[in-house]
């Protein structure tokens, strides 16, 4: 018997199913005839629980080659492996968090510039390139959506005050 990534995922899924099944009891029943609103989600969650249980059993019976202690899960390797993805996550959260203040135009330019620089490097020549790329690409996209497709993109408090 071994504990590996799949075991942890299966346990997480079982917990998720438990919470959601519990939450399905709170779904209101308006008393209409026919299928209740909670019926279909409950079926899906029950099947999901069964499959998660199958995954748990299979993962515990599997050989230990993908064990948690293996070299692949070394904390330094994990950091390096997910470094760029984490940068993207962080930048996207910042972009969304400040969208109300910066708006889509300024926020978009800052997001692309920040992401390009963090992923591509901090040399002066690259930074200038990144700035040009971010202004041009976001400028074009913003113009297409605002003027071409008539979509009112978030203006942001800065531009509104200005």
Q: Which of 3, 14, 24, 98 binds other proteins (CB under 8 A)?
A: 24
Nearest distance from C-beta of residue 161 to other proteins, angstroms: 19
CB 104 within 8 A of CB 153: yes
Cβ proximity of 147 and 91 under 8 Å:
no
When binding is defined by CB under 8 A, the residue of 145, 155, 158, 159 that contacts other proteins is: 145
Q: Contact between 4 and other proteins (CB under 8 A)?
A: no
Smaller CB separation from other proteins, 37 or 128: 37
Candidate residues 38, 94, 101, 155; the one interacting with other proteins per rule CB under 8 A: 38
Tokens of 94: 């910042």
Q: Does 112 bind other proteins (CB under 8 A)?
A: yes
Residue whose pair of structure tokens reads 């969208």 in the numeric block: 99
Maximum Cα–Cα distance across the chain: 69
State the number of binding residues for other proteins (CB under 8 A). 67
| Contact between 78 and other proteins per CB under 8 A | no
Residue from 5, 11, 127, 155 in contact with other proteins (CB under 8 A): 5
Position 92 contacts other proteins (CB under 8 A): yes
By CB under 8 A, tell whether 106 contacts other proteins.
no
Contacts of 10 (CB under 8 A, 6+ apart): 52, 53, 55, 56, 59
**Exposed (0-12), middle (13-18) or buried (19+): which is 134, by Cβ within 10 Å?**
buried
């Amino acid at each position: 018997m071994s504990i590996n990534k799949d075991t942890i995922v299966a346990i997480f899924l079982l917990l998720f199913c438990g919470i959601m099944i519990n939450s399905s009891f709170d779904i209101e029943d308006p008393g209409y005839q026919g299928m209740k609103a909670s019926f279909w989600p409950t079926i899906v969650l029950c099947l999901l629980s069964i499959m998660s249980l199958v995954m748990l059993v299979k993962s515990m019976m599997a050989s230990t080659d993908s064990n948690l202690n293996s070299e692949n899960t070394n904390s330094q390797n994990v950091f390096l492996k997910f470094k760029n993805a984490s940068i993207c996550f962080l930048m996207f959260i910042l972009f969304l968090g400040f969208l109300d203040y910066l708006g889509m135009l300024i926020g978009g330019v800052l997001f692309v510039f920040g992401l390009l620089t963090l992923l591509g490097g901090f040399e002066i020549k690259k930074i200038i390139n990144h700035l040009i790329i971010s202004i041009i690409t976001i400028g074009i996209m913003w113009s297409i959506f605002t003027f071409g497709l008539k979509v009112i993109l978030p203006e942001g408090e800065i531009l509104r005050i200005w």
